[in-house]
Amino acid sequence: MTMRNGLAGLILLLAFWQASALALSGRHLIAGPAEVAQWTAAHAGLLSRALAVTGGNAAAGFVLGNLAAVALAGLALLWPRLTGLVSGLALVVFCLPLVATGPILRVMMGPGDGPQIALAALAVYYTTLIPLLAGLRAVPAAWLDLIHVYGRGRMAELRHVRLRAALPYLVAGLQISAPAAFLGALVGEFTGAERGMGVLTIRFTRALDVPALWSIAALAAAVPVAAYALIGALAHRFLDETPPVLLAPPGTARRSRRAAPVSALAVIATVLGAWWAGMRLAGLSPFFAKRPGDVLAALIWAPDAAEARQTLAGALAQTGAHVLPGYAAGLAAGAGLAVLLALLPALSALVTPLAIALRAIPIVTTAPLIVLLVGRGAAGVVVLVAVMVFFPTFVACQHGLRQAPGQILDVFRTYAAGRWRQMIHVRIPAMLPALFASARMSVPAAVLAVTVVEWLATGGGIGGLMALSASVSDYDMLWSSVVLVTLISWLGHAAVGAAERRVLTLYAPEQVRP
Amino acid sequence: MTHSPLTRRRLLQGGTAGLALGLSGLSPHAARAQEAVALQLSWLHSVQFAGSYIALQNGWWREAGLDVSLLQGGPNAPVEPPVVAGTALVGISAADYAAAAVAQGAPFRIIGVAMQKNPFAIASLPGNPVETPADLPGKSIGMAIANTPVLQALCRLNGVDFDAIRIVPTQYTAQPLVAAEVDCLLCWETDLPVAMAIQGIEARTMLMADHGYALHSQTYIATEDSLARRRDALVALMAGEARGWETCRADSDAAAELTVAMFPDAGLDLPTQKLQARRQLPLMFSDLTERHGFGWWSDEAVEANIRTLALLGREVTPALWDRSILEAVHA
């Protein structure tokens, strides 16, 4: 059933694609599926070699990033006091804009595949770590009691209970990782890689070779979708439970009012210390590898600090004007469509597989296409951010709607309450935890989207400022931008988390109970 | 410097042999001590750097004791940091980027100028052409916002009202011009107009260098430290570049073929590369290079560059240019 619906959705997509290509022919915008297939067949060798390079780097990054996530989760499990620090640091690193980390990695790692693999690893470890941490804790207390009654220790607890409970969560994290790793490898190629799909994208964009561009885009979309589906299928085959969709419940062990700021301070101090020491140990040139002191000086007491602050504020305001509407629209559209499809189940069967597939398409592929279609102004950026937020939100909300307790729905049905009433009073409240979890995880995703688009396509805002600063060697400005973007991403994540806690206390107290 | 002009066939034979050696990882001069150096390119591999490929594949650097690796650039690969860090001995930059880096404390000198004439051009369609800067007011121009100072400088140099031009931020592609979303594009003479020509779209280009925009491009930069301590390597590297580019000039089609053969995975198209080479060479060679050799510059050119840089907001002195390496190369 799902298979057939997926196929129907695919055919619909192809038809829409071909029709758009015909409608816009002559504008060098869209190549239709027929033309793309022809180009792909004629250049199969070139494409398969490029795909092997990018796919290989993505796979290496996927393995390394996920191993790092498992190791970090293990660390947090062995020393539970470190959990806050580990996840806090992991979030900070995840919030780093790929656009700026790329060239720095290139200088440190030299020619070769290093930066592509590192960026792929950086793009995946967080989305695996967080579900894994949740999964290792998502254990009924009675099971642990049973282990203890038998006089067994923590290793037995880990082996017999926690690891099994965490497996579905791990699989869900791996599923999301596959497309993210591909994106990381593509962005890494923009820092001077010799070959790969990203290199070809740059080449064909400039050459105005539209069939080539769409062929690459189609492949770069199909491979992550296939990887996503493959991991899902493997999980379905070997696991009894389906992977959870709600991946990031808010911190279960509720911290006291005083503990939260202390933990945040520990994270900040560790980041600054590691930054400073790392630069010292690697012996990086202060020309481009700025230290914490340089950034503070550039922003606070340097002679041109006021000017720098003004430039940054202007760029951030411009980016904010793009990212906030896009973020809000993506959340609203994701939740809205999920609700709509719950009311119209027939449509849902057609749209859902398509949405799950589209979620896996890397933004580097979609960005130029959406900007071409919607325009280069604010609209293009807003739409892209919205798309980036929309898919995970839609999938999470759909899952959330299904969590509505059956008995309560039965009560409503007994009283002949209509679909709308059930929706408003039962299903939507049941969806809230999923919506908020998605809203929180979407903050870094939205920031990633906006910086990549501004850098690749529109040139304004903080992404454009970072690209410009790098090109004119203004590394004080580049590092200041990186610090601010990371900080804002981190604070945004924390703010959504705080709002989430308040709402869930009301609507889903089981999620936040200590 | 004199050498027998290579025929196309010999050049390609040399290229293919070098390619085979490169693949097998062996070097006929392995016994001789080779100094490993890197040249950081400013963009993806293409005929834009054909001179370097010719020097590499014919073993001219190897003969001079240099084991040169060519580091590819890209949209997110700044040239200056690897040169400062010493990963690359020489980088290919432009006078404005070099001046900006020097202002940030990078100890750079320009030791050679590949593009005597700046490649920035304004491309338009024949039905609505931009032939001179005076045609610009009232038109919309697609360009990267980051290049605003370039357009401002052109307007100042030609007494054109900058505020009467409508800037449309675009990606670096000819699509907005082809789709008539903009009247003209700020681009390089050697890339987007070439792409349009290959797609069968005739474009007009107005080279900014012909309207007072004097700015050295594709300049070779090295650090003061390298100039003091690795002079022999710099001379050998630049000698190979000069010989490679003279060979490229003698037969640009063969250079394009070599480029495509060397980088089969780069998605290069032979007709595009041939046309690009033909459009690029006139920017690189002039009466001046005829008299003094590849990469040379005159004091007047430096003065003109300093004036253009001042319009771009960069204050530099003639000391940014250091001719001592070229003097040794062409001695």
Strand, coil or helix: A234: helix
Find the CB nearest A194 among B72, B104, B106.
Answer: B72
**What dihedral do alpha carbons A163, A168, A174, A176 form, nearest 10°?**
-140
Strand partners, B185: B123, B142
CA distances to A112, A174, A244, B38 from A63, in Å? 18, 10, 21, 31
pLDDT at B98: 93
Chain A interface, best mutation among B46, B70, B71, B76, by max A CB count within 10 A:
B76
- Alpha-carbon gap: B172 to the closest alpha carbon of chain A (Å): 7
pLDDT in tens, A332-367: 999 999 899 888 887 877 777 677 666 666 666 667
Identical fold for domains B8-116+215-329 and B120-211, yes or no, is: yes
Claim to verify: residue A108 and residue A225 sit in the same structural domain: yes
CA-based nearest residue in chain A for residue B147 = A468
Give the span between the Cα atoms of B79 and B72, in whole angstroms.
10
Count of structural domains, chain A: 2
Do the chains contact at A190 and B267, CB–CB below 8 Å?
no
Find the CB nearest B101 among A106, A371, A473.
Answer: A473
pTM (2 d.p.): 0.85
- Alpha-carbon gap: A250 to the closest alpha carbon of chain B (Å): 36
Give the span between the Cα atoms of B144 and A467, in whole angstroms.
11
ipTM computed for the complex = 0.82
Q: What are the tokens at A348? A: 């849902």
Claim to verify: residue A366 and residue A468 sit in the same structural domain: yes
Claim to verify: residue A369 and residue A506 sit in the same structural domain: yes
- Which residue stretches of chain A have pLDDT < 70? 1-6, 26-27, 138, 240-261, 353, 356-366, 368-369, 371-372, 375-376, 508-514
Give the span between the Cα atoms of A18 and A33, in whole angstroms.
6
CA distances to A58, A64, A173, A194 from A224, in Å? 10, 17, 14, 22
Q: What are the tokens at B226? A: 């390298």
Claim to verify: residue A303 and residue A233 sit in the same structural domain: no
Structural domain includes residue A308: yes
Give the span between the Cα atoms of A29 and A256, in whole angstroms.
55
Claim to verify: residue A225 and residue A333 sit in the same structural domain: no
Find the CB nearest A28 among B84, B105, B175.
Answer: B175
Structural domain includes residue A41: no
A-chain residues near B198 (CB < 8 A): 207
- Alpha-carbon gap: B105 to the closest alpha carbon of chain A (Å): 7
Claim to verify: residue A112 and residue A179 sit in the same structural domain: yes
- Please give the distance of CA A509 from its chain centroid, rounded to a whole number: 27
- Alpha-carbon gap: A204 to the closest alpha carbon of chain B (Å): 8
Backbone angles phi, psi at B168, to 5 degrees: -115, 115
Residue B120, H or E segment: strand B120-124
Write down the CATH superfamily of domain B8-116+215-329: Periplasmic binding protein-like II (3.40.190.10)
Half-sphere exposure of A226 (CA within 13 A, CB side): 7
**Which of B279, B286, B74, B92 lies closest to B190 in space, CA to CA?**
B279
Find the CB nearest A206 among B77, B82, B172.
Answer: B172
Backbone angles phi, psi at B71, to 5 degrees: -95, 120
Give the span between the Cα atoms of B195 and A204, in whole angstroms.
10
B-chain residues near A204 (CB < 8 A): 267
The residue ranges of every structural domain in chain B are 8-116+215-329, 120-211
pLDDT at A249: 53
Give the span between the Cα atoms of B183 and B206, in whole angstroms.
13
Claim to verify: residue A383 and residue A487 sit in the same structural domain: yes
How many beta-carbon pairs below 8 A join chains A and B? Answer: 156
Give the span between the Cα atoms of A468 and A485, in whole angstroms.
16
Claim to verify: residue A227 and residue A365 sit in the same structural domain: no
Do the chains contact at A287 and B172, CB–CB below 8 Å?
no
The answer, for B268 touching chain A at a CB cutoff of 8 Å, is: yes
Structural domain includes residue A134: yes
Angle at which helices A197-207 and A363-374 pack, to 10 degrees? Answer: 20
A-chain residues near B185 (CB < 8 A): none
CA-based nearest residue in chain B for residue A51 = B265
Give the span between the Cα atoms of B266 and B187, in whole angstroms.
22
The pLDDT averaged over each successive group of 10 residues in chain B (331 residues) is 45 44 43 83 94 96 95 87 92 93 93 95 95 95 85 93 89 85 93 93 94 94 96 96 96 96 93 96 94 94 94 92 94 84
Do the chains contact at B85 and A29, CB–CB below 8 Å?
no
Find the CB nearest A285 among B85, B196, B198.
Answer: B85
Do the chains contact at A470 and B168, CB–CB below 8 Å?
no
Give the span between the Cα atoms of A402 and A342, in whole angstroms.
9
Structural domain includes residue A113: yes
Backbone angles phi, psi at A472, to 5 degrees: -105, 20
Strands B66-71 and B108-115: unpaired
pLDDT at B23: 42
B-chain residues near A474 (CB < 8 A): 100, 104
- A389: containing domain: 287-514
The answer, for B87 touching chain A at a CB cutoff of 8 Å, is: yes
Structural domain includes residue A414: yes
A-chain residues near B199 (CB < 8 A): 28, 208-209
How many C-beta atoms lie closer than 10 Å to residue A311's C-beta?
18
Chain B 202-261, CB below 8 Å of chain A: which residues?
none
Do the chains contact at B171 and A376, CB–CB below 8 Å?
yes
Find the CB nearest B84 among A205, A285, A456.
Answer: A285
Domain B120-211 has CATH 3.40.47.10: no
Residue type, B20: A
Do the chains contact at B76 and A103, CB–CB below 8 Å?
yes
Residue type, B10: R
Residue type, A280: R
Backbone angles phi, psi at B124, to 5 degrees: -145, 175
- Alpha-carbon gap: A344 to the closest alpha carbon of chain B (Å): 40
Q: Considering only CA atoms, give the Rg of chain A.
A: 23
Strand partners, B140: B166
Claim to verify: residue A196 and residue A295 sit in the same structural domain: no
Last residue of a domain, one of A183, A215, A244: A244
Claim to verify: residue A472 and residue A334 sit in the same structural domain: yes
**Which of A326, A320, A325 lies closest to A370 in space, CA to CA?**
A326
Do the chains contact at B80 and A187, CB–CB below 8 Å?
no
For the beta sheet containing B35-40, the strands, ordered from the edge strand earlier in sequence to the opposite edge, are B66-71, B35-40, B90-93, B217-223, B108-115
- Alpha-carbon gap: B319 to the closest alpha carbon of chain A (Å): 20
Strand, coil or helix: B50: helix
Do the chains contact at B76 and A99, CB–CB below 8 Å?
yes
Give the span between the Cα atoms of A355 and A173, in whole angstroms.
18
Q: What are the tokens at B64? A: 């001079």
B-chain residues near A205 (CB < 8 A): 171-173
Contacts of B201 (CB under 8 A, 6+ apart): B125, B174, B178
Q: Considering only CA atoms, give the Rg of chain B.
A: 20
Structural domain includes residue A219: yes
Do the chains contact at B101 and A107, CB–CB below 8 Å?
no
Chain B 27-56, CB below 8 Å of chain A: which residues?
38, 44-45
Give the span between the Cα atoms of B88 and B80, in whole angstroms.
9
pLDDT at A444: 87
CATH code of A336's domain: 1.10.3720.10
- Alpha-carbon gap: B43 to the closest alpha carbon of chain A (Å): 8
